[in-house]
Structure 1
């Protein structure tokens, strides 16, 4: 991380931006000479991007009875402010003479912007600290590299997409050595950018990578994941490739996940998820956290799986969480518990896809966990065996469509208590518009199946 006062003299451009609801970096590039002024005042941007579809094909209209912040033509889409967080200042090694700072969103009067995902996570962390626990987090992300660009993908069926390598090679270092030239570029530039890469490996899909990031305080961990996704897409494009974190780019490929690891420390910086005297070393704090996360998993699913495509992942033997279950080192359960002593004991929440907004995914896990701690929720028995082979009548089932997930989110007391009505209602409106756009689309599958036969 670059010290703001020690930026090299050659830095002449600063990227100032923050995260939107979809998980996209929005902002502006400004000359360095403007930075001091903007640090005090904030960078003004039109608020219209908060109501854009993910592909920017249309704007979502404000419902007549909506209460709270929701940009609309009726107010002329006024400015909001992006206020730089100077602690996030980084030199961008793949752009010449460029640095970057993440921003928090604010109203013109300086108050926090109600729809800010980063702000929602910061608020959730504040509630955890009030309880005496500092949340630590790490995200592991999967993505594909394709021999495509933004023009080529528009003219192809999903089955025609060309991956970086044609054969999958899970952990296969020799077979996947063809990926290493670009893999090394991504790792090296990410490390130079200040992102704490822990490991990188080829994954189950052709041209699919998994990257794990080091454990950090939860806000830094979400920043890391968000910036990594941004970095990979930019670096790949510079090398004639397209990087995607889309949950399921092709039906015959493995999905992209975003597993969220969580643990907590007390005011003395001691881990609180481990108890040597308890079964498996799992403390009561961990048990309550896991129980709350399990209880909230269905109703918060839309935060972890925010697109129509997200739900293509949720099939048996896909490595994706299809049930609100937990188990020791069990990758078929919704929560995998890693019991590795005082400093390594943690939960891995396996519901989120690569398409999730990292801030909302982390905040969603933490919201459920805090619900469990505050209410001393007790978890079900640890699951042993193959969840995928177990009758859903026994283990239950999580939402299988975006519409179903949004219905549960709309009535979730946990979501409304922890995130507030405004952010949740705005999120639901954006995502219902996404689902409706899908319903109105005639797909290639329909044309191939019915056009000639009927």
Structure 2
């Protein structure tokens, strides 16, 4: 806790915040769990300084709940430990307003530690911090930007339970990709999202209308701190969901809401600066060996990390040939059919765009897996396969795990994952996802009744 404090002993950040928002009633203080879901407590504004002095205690198991919020007994964090608490501490610079509460609420990101003050290995943010520290030790700075796709829906589903695109769009025949009319119709929503992002210090940039009704993409500008970039993605998702509710809509980052329509992705752009601020992926005119080694590392580790990029049952519906979703470890210059694209840019902006993850992925873990792949490639001088020119779908057989089951198997046995995420986090992620799998196996979808009930 190195932040400068006023004479009162209260962190200066807190003093400034309370002075700026005198009507503040509460703070939402939270950690982010394995599924990217915010979990924490509402704390009275009068008790804000206490969070910096004593932290906020939460059960260690909070970070390893399944997607429905159930405890994962196989984690060993429930009965084996007495469901013990761990202290969670404020992350400097993340005390921000909740703009949609009209001055009543604020929010604060937390990190979990063990009682002996070491970073707790089950916190996804700490996993990313550990990977980022490898680069910092060499004097290198990863520069990261994320792009998040999502869908807007009416609050009430159709009779069959499926979500309904916004009726205010006035059509059912498909969205216009990069269409401006689609943005104009939702101007009130996106204007409020933009204001809310600026109020929170979230560097939102362009907004794009995507291919399906009510589908959009918001881009975040690049920052020279990969952990902050993931923080921004978490806050952006919370913002979009909250603003959508205020406008009578539901925002979803589900990877594939409809089997025959475009899915939602999380694209991550990454470059790497040396101690002098030079981009090591270019010599000023052309790509360097470091870029090729980084790409080689991403190719070599993509299979093992697939469970992070596609962490849910629905995630795997997104991987369809011809659906603008990569099907294997491929790469190319300015080629959107590949898993890793080197975008058209000025030499100084040379970077990789990782296009595999769904929008349902945990941003901390997705960025950690990508940076780990880059580090693996640089450390081992991994040579990538030949660049793909033209359609990767037509030239390469699918090379990622075919199912959620096989992805979890690869993840759970991966030496690469153990090295960068830690053996214990590898185990915790696997047992949590196995619990989710078991529940899905017990569910009989409506389509199975329609297919088999009367025919067999």
TM-score, length-scaled by structure 1: 0.92
Q: Corresponding residue for 2:213?
A: 206
In structure 2, relative to structure 1, the CA distance for the partners of 1:214 and 1:160 (3 Å cut) is closer
Residues in 1 aligned to 2:449 and 2:163: alpha-carbon distance in whole angstroms: 16
2:418 match: 416
- Unaligned runs of 5+ residues in structure 1 are 64-69
For residue 160 of structure 2, what is the aligned residue in structure 1?
A: 157
Moved more, 216-225 or 91-100: 91-100
| Residue number in structure 1 paired with 2:4 | none
Q: 1:213 to 1:410 in 2, by over 3 A?
A: same
Which residue of structure 2 aligns with residue 274 of structure 1? 282
Which of residues 56, 75, 82 is equivalent to 2:81?
Answer: 75
Aligned counterparts of 1:39 and 1:295: Cα–Cα separation in 2: 42
- Which range moves more in the overlay, 366-375 or 170-179? 170-179
**How far 1:168 sits from its partner (Å)?**
1.3
Residues 132, 226 of structure 2: 8 Å contact kept:
yes
CA distance in 2, matches of 1:156, 1:296: 43
Find the counterpart in structure 1 of residue 15 from structure 2. 5
C-alpha distance in 1 between matches for 2:183 and 2:45: 41
Q: Residue 61 of structure 1 corresponds to which residue in structure 2? A: 73
2:292 matched residue in structure 1 = 287
1:300 is matched with which residue: 301, 305, 328?
305
* Corresponding residue to 2:333 among 320, 328, 334: 328
Q: Structure 1 residues 376 and 156 mapped into 2: Cα distance closer, same or farther (>3 Å)? A: farther
1:85-164 pair list within 5 angstroms: 85-95=91-101, 96-148=103-155, 152-153=156-157, 156-157=159-160, 159=162, 161-163=164-166
Question: For structure 1, which segment, 162-171 or 345-354, has the greater mean C-alpha deviation from structure 2 after superposition?
Answer: 162-171
The Cα of 1:156 is off from its aligned counterpart by: 4.9
1:168 maps to 2:175: yes
Structure 1 counterpart of 2:365: 360
2:349 alignment partner in structure 1: 344
In angstroms, what is the RMSD of aligned CA positions? 1.8
Is contact 2:284-2:348 (8 Å) kept?
A: no
Cα distance in 2, alignment partners of residues 426 and 353 from structure 1: 21
Q: Secondary structure at the match of 1:381?
A: coil
Q: Which residue pairs with 1:406 in the alignment?
A: 408
Displacement of 1:452: 2.6
Cα distance, 1:163–1:449 mapped onto 2, change above 3 Å: farther
Give me the whole-angstrom Cα distance separating, in 2, the residues matched to 1:333 and 1:385. Answer: 9
Q: How far is 1:16 from its partner? A: 1.1
Task: Answer yes or no: is the 8 Å Cα contact 2:154–2:163 preserved in 1.
Answer: no
The separation in 2 between residues aligned to 1:122 and 1:247, in whole angstroms, is 26
Q: Per-residue displacement from partner, 1:267-316 (whole Å, max 9, x unpaired)?
A: 11222111235xxx111221111110111111100011100111111111
Pairing 1:184–2:191 present? yes
Give 1:32's match in structure 2, choosing from 41, 45, 51: 45
Match of residue 67 from structure 1: none
Q: Verify the 8 A CA contact 1:51 1:61 in the aligned structure 2.
A: no
Decide which moves more: 105-114 or 156-165: 156-165
Partners in 1 of 2:396 and 2:332 — Cα distance? 17
For structure 2, the 5+ residue unaligned runs are 1-11
Asked whether the 8 Å contact 1:274–1:341 carries over to 2, the reply is no
**Worse-matched range after superposition: 135-144 or 244-253:** 244-253
Give yes or no for contact 1:206–1:253 (8 Å, CA) kept in 2. no
Shift of 1:238: 2.1
Shift of 1:219: 1.1
Quote how far apart the aligned CAs of 1:453 are: 2.5
**Shift in Å at residue 176 of structure 1?**
4.5
Shift, 1:376, TM fit: 1.0
**1:20 maps to what in 2?**
33
SS of structure 1 residue aligned to 2:328: coil
Contact kept, 8 Å, 1:158 with 1:250, in 2: the verdict is no
Q: Tell me how far apart the structure 1 counterparts of residues 137 and 382 of structure 2 sit (CA, whole Å).
A: 19
Please list the CA deviations of residues 381-433 of structure 1 after superposition, one character each: whole Å capped at 9, or x if unmatched: 111010111241xxx51112111111111221111111110111100111111
Offset from partner CA, 1:22-45 (integer Å, 9 cap, x none):
100111121222222221221012
Alpha carbons 1:265, 1:271 under 8 Å: kept: yes
* Equivalent of residue 434 in structure 1, options 433, 436, 443: 436
What's the CA shift string for 1:303-336, capped at 9, x where partnerless?
1110011111111121211110100010000100
Q: Give, in angstroms, the shift of residue 163 of structure 1.
A: 3.8
The Cα shift of 1:374 comes to 0.7
Cα distance, 1:237 vs. partner? 1.5
Residues 93-152 of structure 1: CA distance to partner in whole angstroms, max 9, x if unpaired?
11133222211011223222111110011111101111231111001000001012xxx4
